[in-house]
Amino acid sequence: MRAVNQSKAFAWFAVIVFFGIVDMTPAIAADFPVADKVLVEKGKRQLHLLQNGIPFRTFKIALGFAPEGDKEQEGDQKTPEGLYMLDARNPDSDYFLSIHISYPNRQDRAAARAKGVDPGGAIMIHGQPNVPNYSQAYYAREDWTNGCIAVSNSDMIDIWLMTPDQVPIEIVP
């Protein structure tokens, strides 16, 4: 049943994109406010879209399986902390849409090199898995990613529409 509902949601989303209601080239919908910064508060499990330093939308998030502390290396299941950019979009992700976060930055690579480890990468803001392994309730209440920032699919559409390319994202403890 869940796969059917997700397939229906994706089909509607595809219709919207096909008819140009939402342009998936990283254009921003004119009727939505546009963020000039994204702030993630890991401890509060919140992602805020900001305009001129003032939050105008807040979303509930899930983090990596090991949410405490800064990401240090590939496979540590941590979500990075620091200042990055949202630098690429993937409408064909394994998760419902994804926006790439520019981790690792120069400092992250230097710290990993000093420890002799790989800093990892492929950190995204994304929706739910296209092929879920768990119930919707699990994804709504647990930290379940490998270090990404996950939101509901409907929230991901809003974030996609309200964030331009190359917008800064700050991730704090």
The CATH number fitting domain 2-172, selected from 3.10.350.10, 3.40.50.720, 2.40.440.10, 3.40.640.10 = 2.40.440.10
| Cα–Cα distance for residue pair 17/167, rounded to 1 Å | 23
In the chain, the N- to C-terminal Cα span, in Å, equals: 37
Q: Give the residues across from 149 on adjacent strands.
A: 125
Q: What is the pLDDT at residue 44?
A: 97
pLDDT score of 20 more than 90: no
pLDDT score of 137 more than 60: yes
pLDDT score of 51 more than 60: yes
Mean pLDDT of 40-67: 96
* Token pair of 77 as six digits: 């299941």
Higher pLDDT: 15 or 91? It is 91
pLDDT tens-digit profile of 104-119? 999 999 999 999 999 9
* Percentage of the chain lying above the pLDDT 90 cut: 76
Calculated CA dihedral for residues 105, 106, 108, 112, nearest 10 degrees: 140
pTM metric for this prediction: 0.81
Mean pLDDT of 38-61: 97
pLDDT score of 57 more than 60: yes
pLDDT tens-digit profile of 152-164? 999 999 999 999 9
pLDDT score of 72 more than 80: yes
Tokens 């270090």 locate to 147
Kindly list the domain boundaries of the chain, sorted by start residue.
2-172
